Amino acid sequence: MQDAPSHSSQPRNPLHGVTLEAIVRALEARYGWADLAVRIPVRCFTHDASVNSSLKFLRKTPWAREKVEELYLFMLREDRRMQRPSG
């Protein structure tokens, strides 16, 4: 007898259910294109940067998408750290 697959099979994965577009928009809002290009120096961030051109490139380039996802996870950790009460 097999268990039915769980709908929440990745409950602890912070990327689960987050679209690439949402990630790119969040990073651009936090860092801006110029700082994003310094942090991840890829052409879609350094020349005529836009959400659409970035999505097109990142969907075709797994290593770059991984870097973007890592930066997004770093941003989430920083947000959590800032929200912790001091003391």
Dump pLDDT digits (tens) for 75-85: 999 998 988 77
The structure tokens 């290593």 sit at 63
Which domains are seen in the chain, by residue range? Answer: 20-82 (1.10.720.30)
Residues 6 or more apart whose Cβ sits within 8 Å of residue 39: 31, 71
Under DSSP, the state recorded for 21 is: H
Cα–chain-centroid distance for residue 25? 9
Q: What is the pTM of this model?
A: 0.81
Q: What is the pLDDT of residues 4-42, one digit of tens each?
A: 444 556 768 888 889 999 999 999 999 999 999 999 999
> Would you say 42 and 64 are in contact if contact means Cβ atoms under 8 Å apart?
yes
| pLDDT beyond 60 at 3 | no
The greatest distance separating any two alpha carbons of the chain, rounded to the nearest whole angstrom, comes to 55
Cα 14 from Cα 10, distance rounded (Å): 9
